[in-house]
């Protein structure tokens, strides 16, 4: 009886120790992690852009007067030399008639005095004076003729009418725009790029553009024009991407989604980019990150770093593309810790 009691007690003690051991096992540490990728794999960030015309031309009269009629409407396509508007030309015609009469009178006087000059009866000084009056009369006539022609406003370039700024019956001032003509045979997509990323964009950086309003899923951008002055508030630089627009589906003001395919710089090669905050420094000064193996176990991995790109830093050695690293919660880790994410 005593032996049986002792055996039962031993079994209970073994079970109790086993339960304590299991209950004392440390629970996995919850962390955030990401699979690292190379520089060329992270260039899919989208930027919002605005479509702009290739060139805008403000068309205006050279003189002041009342606009008699405007012959075009906004959005209308016009060709070079097409009549756009007319100004009341009553005064210009009267001035032309007066200048023409003065020129005819001067020419008539020239013919009469020429006979005297040829006969030697007219002093040379007087003959030169008559010739000067004829030249002045002709000059005034040409000016009056041009003023009359300027009462008709024609398109200096082809394109579409962007805005009509003056209507019939209004008084137009010299150099005041009557309409604007937009050249949209090709357009530019303006994008604001943060200063940390502008250095990776060149004139030939490949881009893909999506414009939902024009129902265009994907366009290939052309040459890029980089601004050299940053916005004082946002610290961004304007870049403009040239895009062919032969079918004229892209119109100024449309919103575009733009992706840049930035090539790795020579100093980066095919380096891996990781969040700067995931880089830790050990007591001996070496840098490391926490990597996670296939068994969900954390390991301290020494790395070498290169250039930064925004809030990320390039890793030149130590980890491989696709390897998973801890980005948050690494403060609670030790070598061999079990993790969940």
Mean pLDDT of 225-233: 87
Residue 159 lies in a domain: no
Nearest 5°: phi and psi at 75?
A: 90, -5
Q: What letter does residue 14 receive in the DSSP assignment?
A: H
Query: Does some domain include residue 69?
Result: no
Same domain, 275 and 328: yes
- Non-local CB neighbours of 258 within 8 Å, separated by 6+ positions: 46, 47, 48, 49, 189, 191, 207, 208, 209, 210, 221, 241
**Which CATH number do you get for residue 294?**
2.40.420.20
Lowest mean pLDDT among 63-67, 111-115, 269-273: 269-273
**Domain contains 234:** yes
CATH for 206: 2.40.30.170
CA–CA separation, 102 and 121 (whole Å): 25
How far apart (Å, rounded) are the C-alpha atoms in residues 241 and 273? 27
**What range does the domain containing 214 cover?**
46-55+184-260
Q: Chain-wide mean pLDDT for the chain?
A: 84
10 Ramachandran zone, left/alpha/beta (phi>0; psi -120 to 50): alpha
> Does residue 21 lie within any of the structural domains?
no
What domain count does the chain have?
Answer: 3
pLDDT of residue 35: 85
Mean pLDDT along residues 130-134: 90
Looking at residue 39, its pLDDT comes to 54
pTM: 0.55
**332 pLDDT tier (thresholds 50, 70, 90):** confident
Report pLDDT for 300.
93
Residues 6+ apart with CB under 8 A from 58: 177, 180
- Highest-scoring range by mean pLDDT, 14-18, 159-163, 260-264: 159-163
Task: Render pLDDT for 175-211 as a digit per residue (tens, 0 to 9).
Answer: 899 999 999 989 999 999 888 778 878 888 888 898 9
283 and 322 fall within a common domain: yes
Contact (Cβ atoms closer than 8 angstroms) between residue 210 and residue 249: no
- Considering the domain architecture, whether residues 125 and 274 belong to the same structural domain is answered as no
Q: Average pLDDT for residues 315-320, to the nearest whole number? A: 87
Q: Which residues contact 338 (CB under 8 A, 6 or more apart)?
A: 26, 28, 29, 296, 297, 298
Which residue would you say has higher pLDDT here, 266 or 158?
158
Cα-based distances in Å from 203 to 65, 67, 200, 241, 281: 46, 45, 10, 9, 38
Residues 6+ apart with CB under 8 A from 110: 130, 131, 134
Residues 243 and 278 in one domain: no
Clarify whether residues 288 and 311 are in a common domain. yes
Q: Are residues 239 and 279 in the same domain?
A: no
**DSSP3 helix / strand / coil % (the chain, rounded to 5):** 25, 40, 35
**CB-based contacts of 162: which residues, under 8 Å, 6+ apart?**
53, 56, 74, 179, 180, 181, 182, 252
- 231 and 281 in one domain? no
**How many C-beta atoms surround the C-beta of residue 152 within 10 A?**
14
pLDDT at 262: 66
């Amino acid at each position: 009886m005593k032996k049986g009691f002792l055996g039962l007690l031993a079994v209970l003690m073994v079970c109790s120790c086993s339960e304590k051991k299991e209950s004392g096992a440390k629970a996995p540490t919850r962390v955030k992690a990401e699979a690292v990728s190379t520089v060329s794999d992270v260039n899919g960030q989208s930027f919002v852009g605005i479509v702009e015309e290739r060139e805008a031309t403000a068309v205006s009269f050279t003189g002041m007067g009342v606009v008699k009629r405007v012959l075009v409407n906004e959005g209308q396509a016009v060709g070079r030399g097409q009549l756009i508007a007319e100004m009341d030309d009553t005064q210009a015609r009267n001035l032309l008639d007066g200048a023409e009469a003065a020129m005819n009178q001067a020419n008539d006087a020239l013919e009469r005095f020429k006979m005297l000059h040829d006969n030697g009866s007219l002093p040379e000084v007087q003959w030169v004076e008559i010739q000067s009056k004829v030249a002045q009369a002709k000059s005034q006539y040409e000016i009056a003729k041009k003023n009359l022609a300027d009462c008709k406003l024609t398109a200096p370039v082809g394109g579409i009418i962007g805005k009509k700024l003056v209507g019939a019956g209004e008084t137009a001032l010299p150099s005041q725009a009557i309409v604007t003509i937009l050249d949209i045979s090709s357009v530019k997509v303006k994008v604001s790029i943060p200063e940390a990323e502008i250095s990776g964009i060149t004139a030939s950086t490949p881009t893909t553009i999506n414009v939902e309003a024009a129902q265009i899923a994907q366009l290939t951008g052309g040459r890029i024009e980089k601004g050299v002055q940053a916005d004082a508030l946002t610290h961004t630089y304007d870049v403009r991407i040239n895009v062919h627009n032969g079918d004229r589906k892209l119109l100024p003001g449309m919103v575009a989604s733009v992706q840049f395919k930035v090539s790795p710089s020579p100093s980066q090669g095919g380096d891996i980019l990781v969040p700067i905050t995931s880089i830790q420094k050990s007591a001996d000064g070496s840098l490391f990150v926490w990597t996670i193996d296939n068994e969900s176990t954390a390991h301290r991995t020494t790395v070498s770093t290169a250039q930064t790109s925004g809030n990320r830093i390039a890793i030149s050695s130590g980890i491989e593309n696709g390897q998973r690293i801890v980005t948050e919660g690494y403060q609670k880790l030790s070598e061999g810790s079990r993790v969940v994410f």
